[in-house]
Structure 1
Amino acid sequence: MSSMAWASIAFPLATGGVRSAIEAVPLVAWQLLLTTGILVSVIVLYRTARPHGQWGQRLRSRLVLGLPWGTLLGLAFVVCVYLFVQGGLGNLRDPVSLPFQATSYAYPLGVLTAGFAHVSWGHLVGNLWAGLVFGSIAEYAWSHYPAERGSASFASWSSNPFVRVAIFFTTMLLAGLLTAAFSWGPIIGFSGVTYALAGFALVFYPVSTIVAVAGWTRLRHVYTAFASPYSIAEASVSYDSVWWASTAVQGHVFGFLLGVFVAALVVRFRGTTTNPARIWLAAMIYGIANGLWRVYWFLGDGQYVQFKAVGTTLVFVLAGLIVALVAGSDRSAFASLPQVDRLVDPTPRWQIAASVLLAVLVTMSIVGATLNLVAPAGGGLPDDAVEVNDYEIAYAENVTNRQIAVLDLPFLEQVTQVQTSGVIVTSEKRHLWRRAISKRALEARGSGRVLVGGVGWRTSVWATRSGWSVVGGNSTYRVFLDPDGDEKRLVHTSTPAVADLRLANRTIAIRPAADAFEVAVRRGNQTLGTVAVPGNGGNATVGGVRFDRTGRDLYASIDGTRIRVANRQVPPTRQ
């Protein structure tokens, strides 16, 4: 046997052996290895840098015991919402999220919880990391001890370190409520607060904030390496949605501007000196790195348009306004134009920038408030919708997305009347209308789950799609909904799929029926007959054509000619 032949045998054996050996190593061994590496690196740094307590002393000079207690309390509150309100305590990676989204002022629970709730464990961990990093910098800038010259701790209530911790913590909670209350459409997540913390930190420590932008995702990598020490990857075909279309960019911008505005007020009150060039550069890098330029709109059917040039222009303008707000002088904006300056009120430059940013915040708030006052109600679904308490779950195609069309704007019907298809969830009580699973995602994956519930309860409704694709690329399918504790229900059947071929002047179509799929044979305008698609290994004859089923493939035979006409689309096994 040649060496190449030996190699072809040994390689899969070696590959399988290596994989088995890796999987046999206990998880704790990988974690111990990582922990040892981190400790060795930190010890080397400590002994080389020899800070002699300088790091701790610097932290303790501004933070009680050197820790950002306000940030830690805020993050602990977020974790408690996830565990005890969303039901994450018993389902750590699978919380209930739909009822904790801000949809309308008529649904206070959503407004109160949206800024602190999360859709998944990964979503929570990402925001916790960002909140810890940017919150620590922001709280260090705020300081638990009074920063004004000549002031002393405990001299007044405002200089009390514990009061200052409480103020920072309360401000975080308030930011979460504001980002939810003035959201443009349903939002969920703590990211609005993390952007506010980053905006505050950027004004005081622009370089540290940009280092944090580059570093916080890497710090999260340490956590993922500890939780999942290794991963085995292989090529596969998967369905990917447009990930940035599910990002609440408006909420991020609102939170960021809020943090910048509060920081500017603190800077003006304290008389702190700032570096305009660093702040401008930091604002630019942060805005671009964190997608504040992602201005987009819906085109329908899973398509979106992103206005990169417009969004990037706004980031540049925003950076200039931040610099003018924080570092602008008290000179009149028209001091270089005496003739104009005499005619207008001599308003300082920084106040003009403050007025512009405040106007933006107010405008965004008015738009958000308007949308939340007219948030969509439920209803408008097919009669076969599944009811789970106050929820209705249905499958529909080419219906108006009521989440977008909440306002009837003159001359903008084509912008707001966006069509959508997929599994729809509505609730009159919660003013909820949401496409939970798109038609394309259900087609690609075969099945999907909608998790509904509330405080203290949860129920799953599974959607499954099975069908046949015929020669020529067309397909026909049936959609079922399967709620927990109830019978599986057929809720949608598509139009028949006609194969792009002719056999003895006959056309073949697969069409869905109530109990199964059928094969129909036609010649011209005449239907020669129909028969149920045979099971695996079976056959059936109709209209002079014999159909044989082999696995997922369906073959047609007539006059000695045999050809594959259709392929079964089978949903994967539910996990």
Structure 2
Amino acid sequence: MSAMVLALAPLPLTTSGIRATIDAVPLWAWQLVLAAGILLSVGILYRIARPRGRWGQRLRSRFVLGLPWGTLLGLAFVVCVYLFVQGGWGNLRDPVSLPFQATSYAYPLGILTAGFAHLGWSHLFGNLWAGLVFGSIAEFAWSHYPTERGSESFSSWHRHPFVRIGIVFVTILLTGLVTAAFSWGPIIGFSGVTYAMAGFALVFYPITTLVALVGWSRLWHVYSAFVSPYSVAEAQVRYDTVGWASTAIQGHAFGFLLGVFVAALLLRRRRRTGHPERIWLAAVIYGIANGLWRVYWFLGGGQYVQFKAVGTALVLVLAGLIVAAVAGPDRSAVSRLATGDRSSDSPRRLAAASVLLAVLITMSMVGAMVNLAAPAGGGLPDDAVELKDYEIAYAENVTNQQIAVFDLPYLDQATQVRTSGVIVTSEKRHLWRVAISKRALEARGSGRVLVGGVGWRSSLWATRSGWSVVGGNSTYRVFFDPKDREKRLVHTSSPAVADLTLANRTIELRPASDAFEVAIKRDNRTVDKVAIPEDGATTTVDGVTVTRSGRDLYASIDGTSIRIANRQVPPTRR
């Protein structure tokens, strides 16, 4: 009994004691608590609502066996691409992504796979969940069974439930191909299709789509809470990228408009009407919540300019155009625009539908121009590392070939953006990509570049080491460490001069092939240099004693000592 009491005695109420107590709880115990909460909540709902089969009956009235089979088949296809094409089967959280991005019409593999491939597990799972939610609503609106009054299933081939399921699946595949083929620059991911699903669903069921918009992200929280039942957070300094600048906003907007337009055609065919105020509200909220207002451009050096007012105005105008084109008792404009029959068109609806179609065509034309003029690769330093058809190099202040695919009259400064970092190119795949920016490599100290193709993968580690001198300047070296090859130096920066004078001497730190050096200059002339000593060691150069203590470097002469430099160590490596 006493042993049991001792075993259950609480740890001291300290930070380490609380953390140890939490860590001692097994993962399954946390998950059991969450599962119990889910079952209790759903049980209360079921007890009070007492659906008596109404939910299942409602689903079965539109779905074969009550399931959105077309959407499920499309999501299964996406999973197969991730597992068997990208190599996710053996590397679930680390697939190959570079060769499966849409870069050029001259590289068909990228066009065919970009709409279904993903950067990683979280990217995949997020798109699968969004596709399931919005795809189910869209497929419910489409229905496996004919919805026209007096029509019967199996009465014709296009009323056959299995054919209608197949149409949904084929539409998903075609949408993925179209969004990749007309993308502005390299994209990857299923999100273009999920936005098309949401646009389609919004026209038919605007309020349901809004509820789904709020609900799917919150339900994602339930999944994350099950996988990671608790987390410990602390304040820290870290490097963070501009997240929205790496998101294919154009692809999202294109997919959304495509879904809206197809839904408008179907509405006209079924002679149905909608609620203008609901559709407008749903379009505005969905566009703002999903960042369709983020109109931006590149400034170079990791900076971007975002035009919030212009983007928000565009979302509001878009919502008005959607209402004008699809809401109201007469939607003949859309169908007549598609068929060429313009008799008795409402000028308002015809104009709105024409603008929407013109936007889609314009976006497609720009995407086609970009993919026709995609970079061919090359143009890297001579010390670039070759991994089959890829070349990887470190370069600074070079033109970003991904943006400058073609020149725009009077807009040279907008397209000739300079960039720095670890760059990956492939002439075969028409690829030019900044894999790790200069700032990211400086902040993190190292980063991996993963390349490959169907059935193979290879990787390379880039590492950066440097010193920051008094005055803020820094000097550094960049190494590449390819898999199964020797580590090699690929870049050395300019020397860094300390902003101080010691006994008429200027101190300069220089990167060399095998080590960093301390150089002494007088009258702008180098008089002597020596390698930076190891931690705790001391050396002398031109009468100046140089001492290293941890990450700090000191210089002393005639009894005067001062810190001259600090070793750059990223937070994750400290």
- Determine if the TM-score, normalized by the shorter chain, exceeds 0.5: yes
Aligned partner of 1:402 in structure 2 is: 401
Question: For residues 511-522 of structure 1, what are the structure 2 equivalents within 5 Å?
Answer: 511-522=510-521
Question: TM-score scaled by structure 2?
Answer: 0.94
Question: For residues 28-177 of structure 1, what are the structure 2 equivalents within 5 Å?
Answer: 28-177=28-177
Aligned partner of 1:229 in structure 2 is: 229
Aligned partner of 1:5 in structure 2 is: none
Counterparts of 1:332 and 1:93 in 2: how far apart (Å)? 48
Aligned partner of 1:391 in structure 2 is: 390
Aligned partner of 1:472 in structure 2 is: 471
Asked if the contact 1:528–1:542 (Cα under 8 Å) also holds between the matched residues in 2, the reply is no
Q: Aligned AA for 2:188?
A: I
| Residue 30 of structure 1, CA deviation | 1.5
Q: Deviation string for 1:50-87 (max 9, x for gaps)?
A: 11111111111111111111111111111111111111
**1:534 and 1:354, CA in 2 relative to 1: closer, same or farther beyond 3 A?**
same
Asked if the contact 1:202–1:282 (Cα under 8 Å) also holds between the matched residues in 2, the reply is yes
Moved more, 55-64 or 21-30: 21-30
Aligned partner of 1:256 in structure 2 is: 256
Q: Aligned AA for 2:33?
A: L
Counterparts of 1:66 and 1:270 in 2: how far apart (Å)? 23
Counterparts of 1:193 and 1:525 in 2: how far apart (Å)? 62
Asked if the contact 2:11–2:18 (Cα under 8 Å) also holds between the matched residues in 1, the reply is no
Counterparts of 1:411 and 1:513 in 2: how far apart (Å)? 43
Q: Aligned AA for 1:81?
A: V
Q: Aligned AA for 2:365?
A: I
SS at match of 2:179: helix
SS at match of 1:547: strand
Aligned partner of 2:4 in structure 1 is: none
Aligned partner of 2:298 in structure 1 is: 298
Question: TM-score scaled by structure 1?
Answer: 0.94
**1:554 and 1:12, CA in 2 relative to 1: closer, same or farther beyond 3 A?**
farther
SS at match of 2:501: coil
Identical aligned residues as a percent:
78
SS at match of 1:294: coil
Instruction: Give yes or no for the alignment of 1:553 onto 2:552.
Output: yes
Asked if the contact 1:469–1:568 (Cα under 8 Å) also holds between the matched residues in 2, the reply is yes
Asked if the contact 1:70–1:139 (Cα under 8 Å) also holds between the matched residues in 2, the reply is yes
| Residue 571 of structure 1, CA deviation | 5.8
| Residue 328 of structure 1, CA deviation | 4.6
| Residue 25 of structure 1, CA deviation | 1.6
Asked if the contact 1:146–1:152 (Cα under 8 Å) also holds between the matched residues in 2, the reply is yes
Question: For residues 276-355 of structure 1, what are the structure 2 equivalents within 5 Å?
Answer: 276-328=276-328, 330=330, 348-355=347-354
Q: Aligned AA for 2:552?
A: D
Asked if the contact 1:442–1:464 (Cα under 8 Å) also holds between the matched residues in 2, the reply is yes
Aligned partner of 1:491 in structure 2 is: 490
Counterparts of 2:471 and 2:344 in 1: how far apart (Å)? 73
SS at match of 1:405: coil
**1:11 and 1:279, CA in 2 relative to 1: closer, same or farther beyond 3 A?**
same
| CA RMSD, 1 decimal | 1.8
**1:346 and 1:273, CA in 2 relative to 1: closer, same or farther beyond 3 A?**
closer
Aligned partner of 1:412 in structure 2 is: 411
Aligned partner of 1:198 in structure 2 is: 198
Asked if the contact 2:554–2:562 (Cα under 8 Å) also holds between the matched residues in 1, the reply is yes
SS at match of 2:52: coil
SS at match of 1:216: helix
Q: Aligned AA for 2:209?
A: T
Asked if the contact 2:115–2:180 (Cα under 8 Å) also holds between the matched residues in 1, the reply is yes
| Residue 120 of structure 1, CA deviation | 1.1
Asked if the contact 2:521–2:527 (Cα under 8 Å) also holds between the matched residues in 1, the reply is yes
Q: Aligned AA for 1:392?
A: E
Asked if the contact 1:520–1:527 (Cα under 8 Å) also holds between the matched residues in 2, the reply is yes
| Residue 351 of structure 1, CA deviation | 2.4
Q: Aligned AA for 1:366?
A: M
**1:505 and 1:84, CA in 2 relative to 1: closer, same or farther beyond 3 A?**
same
Q: Aligned AA for 1:84?
A: F
Counterparts of 2:181 and 2:31 in 1: how far apart (Å)? 42
Asked if the contact 2:529–2:541 (Cα under 8 Å) also holds between the matched residues in 1, the reply is yes
Asked if the contact 1:328–1:349 (Cα under 8 Å) also holds between the matched residues in 2, the reply is no
Q: Aligned AA for 2:133?
A: V
Counterparts of 1:332 and 1:112 in 2: how far apart (Å)? 35
Asked if the contact 1:115–1:177 (Cα under 8 Å) also holds between the matched residues in 2, the reply is yes
Aligned partner of 1:503 in structure 2 is: 502
Counterparts of 1:441 and 1:14 in 2: how far apart (Å)? 36
Q: Aligned AA for 1:552?
A: R
**1:331 and 1:261, CA in 2 relative to 1: closer, same or farther beyond 3 A?**
closer
SS at match of 2:148: coil
SS at match of 1:118: coil
Aligned partner of 1:436 in structure 2 is: 435
| Residue 408 of structure 1, CA deviation | 1.6
Counterparts of 2:524 and 2:498 in 1: how far apart (Å)? 16
Q: Deviation string for 1:367-408 (max 9, x for gaps)?
A: 111111110011000000000000000000000000000012
Q: Aligned AA for 1:544?
A: G
Counterparts of 2:245 and 2:569 in 1: how far apart (Å)? 29
**1:543 and 1:11, CA in 2 relative to 1: closer, same or farther beyond 3 A?**
farther
SS at match of 1:363: helix
What stretches of structure 1 of length at least 5 have no aligned partner?
Answer: 1-9, 334-343
Counterparts of 2:248 and 2:11 in 1: how far apart (Å)? 48
Moved more, 408-417 or 521-530: 521-530
Counterparts of 1:510 and 1:497 in 2: how far apart (Å)? 5
Q: Deviation string for 1:130-157 (max 9, x for gaps)?
A: 1111111111111111010100111111
| Residue 330 of structure 1, CA deviation | 4.7
Asked if the contact 1:329–1:349 (Cα under 8 Å) also holds between the matched residues in 2, the reply is no
What stretches of structure 2 of length at least 5 have no aligned partner?
Answer: 1-9, 334-342
| Residue 21 of structure 1, CA deviation | 1.8
